[in-house]
Amino acid sequence: MIEINIFDANNNLQNVEENRTTNKILAMLREDMIKEFHRLLKRGTSQERINCFRVGDYKAKPNMVGDTAAARPGKVAQEIG
């Protein structure tokens, strides 16, 4: 007999729909909106006081996300566009 876990099936469906919704929201964001959100999120933090972080603009220095190199400075707009 095959058991079907309805809870897991519902969670999987919800995850798919959340991903679709997130992708639609991201597709609607404009460059100026992304920069403004970044500025608002970083306001009042130590990063705001250090010029190399360029709060509200694209980064000036290369960085890593976990073990993965993120987009290089100067390539960010191209890679998110």
Cβ contacts of residue 36 below 8 Å, gap of 6+? 56
The tens digit of pLDDT for each residue in 37-71 reads 999 999 999 989 987 889 999 988 898 988 998 99
Contact 55, 38 (CB under 8 A): yes
For 65, the 3-state DSSP assignment is strand
Per-residue CA distances from 4 to 9, 11, 72 (Å) = 8, 13, 46
Return the pLDDT at 27.
86
pLDDT digit string, tens, across residues 8-38:
666 777 777 888 888 888 889 898 998 999 9
What is the reported pTM?
A: 0.60
Q: What is the pLDDT of residue 10?
A: 67
pLDDT at 5: 62
